[in-house]
Amino acid sequence: MIRFLTAGESHGKALTVIVEGFPSNFVLTEQYINQHLQRRQLGYGRGGRMKIETDTAEILSGVRFEKTLGTPVSIQIKNNDWVNWTDKMTAGKKKGKIEKITVPRPGHADLVGVTKYNFDDIRNSIERSSARETAARVAAGSVARRFLEEFGIFVGSFVESIGNVYPDENFLTELLSNKIAAKFNAWRLAEKADKSAVRVLEKRQEEKIIELIKKIKKKGDTLGGTIVTVATGVPVGLGSFVHYDRRLDTDIAAAIMSINAVKAVEIGSGFTSAESFGSESHDEIVIRRGAITRKSNRAGGIEGGISTGLPIVVRSAMKPIATLMSPIETIDLSKYKKVMARRERSDFVAVPACAVISESMLALVLAKHFLLKFGGDSIEETKDNFNSYIRKLDKRIKKNFKTGK
């Protein structure tokens, strides 16, 4: 069973993550993790922090000579900014007077955080609720995606919209129509998106979005957007319908929704299907080149909580970042009086980064369900189990239904 736990404050010494439950003997390097950490740092519209940090993974345990040991993998990512925060964030004694934050930002965890944890300084709440923590999730997700690659499973994503700027031709439509090539690899999609400053697939859309970001930056405002996250090569049979908590879609929705600022998650044609006829909503089952498949993929690769073998397609919505340079109304908790929200260094747009984090969370969920089904303490054992299942799939159906007799 895959488990992972992150630790670390945004301006503390470091972020740490322990990932556990992966088999031994598959290749895992710091360079591989760093590649994904760097992807998370990109995107036009990020704030000053990303200029300070060069997120770099240090593997502390669980790997020997570039191969996993089957033991907990622990990874550390140092915060470069720590040197500027040592006095303000020390675990030791307070030295001198440290200014307290008393004005909560609407939409952030500031007010609920101090209320729940009984703090007299909003800083205590900001530090862990910051999206900085997602760097540790991407490190954990890199272990999962490296593992999945061993089985030809790839994850990728693209930004569908920022603000209200959508593409002329939405690749999501193509994904849901199942008209994409059988060999389509979600990582290629990610690589294509990575070439864009805002991780979109259309040049014209990219230009419009950059214009829009320039405009809102001047006003001190922020923007959200929508993201499409895809996994390809997922075999039929991950997840289950037998209990609510064994459904693959349950775990995917929770994992994507857990990402800071994500407010909606949709699988396949999701909300659109609610306003369509049944005859237009489902994927007709057909035989192509001797194999069972679906005409379309409106289900987004999941039926009855179980993967169908078609690409897993997840769409999510990220709200605009809650830290605004042109602040909105709030109160000062030390005066119980109306004030305008505090300004704080932040991103104007973080949708491209959110897409990379979504890939990581999807990879972790898929790896969990993959290992629940196929098990194995070493990658060799997992491969044996996987291959025996895959090889016999069609044969089993034909035998059970006495096809051709």
User: Which strand (E) or helix (H) includes residue 156?
Assistant: strand 154-162
Are 349 and 372 in contact by the 8 Å Cβ rule? The answer is no
Choose the binding region for ligand EPS from 128-136, 142-150, 210-218, 288-296 (rule: CB under 6 A): 128-136
Nearest Cα to 19, choosing from 66, 59, 67?
59
Site residues for ligand EPS, 204-263, by CB under 6 A, read: none
Binding status of residue 132 toward ligand EPS by CB under 6 A: yes
Q: Which residue, 51 or 396, is less far from ligand EPS as judged by CB?
A: 51
Interacting stretch for ligand EPS, rule CB under 6 A, among 93-101, 113-121, 205-213, 347-355? 347-355
Residue 252: CB minimum distance to ligand EPS, A? 22
Helix (H, G, I), strand (E, B) or coil at 380: helix
Task: Give yes or no for residue 323 binding ligand EPS (CB under 6 A).
Answer: yes
Interface with ligand EPS includes 135 (CB under 6 A)?
yes
Indicate the residue among 263 and 345 with the shorter CB distance to ligand EPS: 345
Considering the complex, state which of residue 20 and residue 81 has its C-beta at the smaller distance from ligand EPS: 81
Name residue 183's amino acid.
K
- Interacting stretch for ligand EPS, rule CB under 6 A, among 247-255, 304-312, 346-354, 376-384? 346-354
| Shortest spacing between CB 106 and ligand EPS, in angstroms | 12
From the list 36, 49, 146, 247, which residue makes contact with ligand EPS (rule: CB under 6 A)? 49
Q: Where are the alpha helices (DSSP H) in 236-276?
A: 248-257, 270-273
Q: Which of 321, 349, 365, 379 binds ligand EPS (CB under 6 A)?
A: 321
Report the nearest approach of ligand EPS to the CB of residue 296 (Å). Answer: 36
- Report CA Rg, the chain: 23
Torsions phi, psi of 288, nearest 5? -125, 125
Q: How far is the CB of 73 from ligand EPS (least distance, A)?
A: 21
Number of residues binding to ligand EPS, judged by CB under 6 A: 15
Strand bridging mode 154-162 / 306-307: unpaired
Nearer to ligand EPS by C-beta: 128 or 373? Answer: 128
Residue type, 381: E
Distance of CA 154 to the CA centre of its chain: 14
Q: Can residue 131 be called a binding residue for ligand EPS (CB under 6 A)? A: yes
Give the footprint of ligand EPS on residues 351-370 (CB under 6 A).
353
Is 347 near ligand EPS (CB under 6 A)?
Answer: yes
Contact between 16 and ligand EPS by CB under 6 A: the answer reads no
The DSSP bridge partners found for residue 27 are 67
CB of 143 to ligand EPS, least distance (A): 19
Residue 360: phi and psi, rounded to 5, are -65, -45
Q: b/e string for 87-103 if b means 16 or more Cβ within 10 A?
A: eebeeeeeeeeeeebbb
CA dist., res. 303 & res. 107, Å (int): 35
47 binds ligand EPS (CB under 6 A): yes
Please count the residues of the chain.
Answer: 405
Alpha helices in 30-133 (DSSP H): 30-41, 49-52, 86-89, 110-117, 123-129
Residues that bind ligand EPS (CB under 6 A): 10, 47, 49, 130-132, 134-135, 321, 323, 345-347, 350, 353
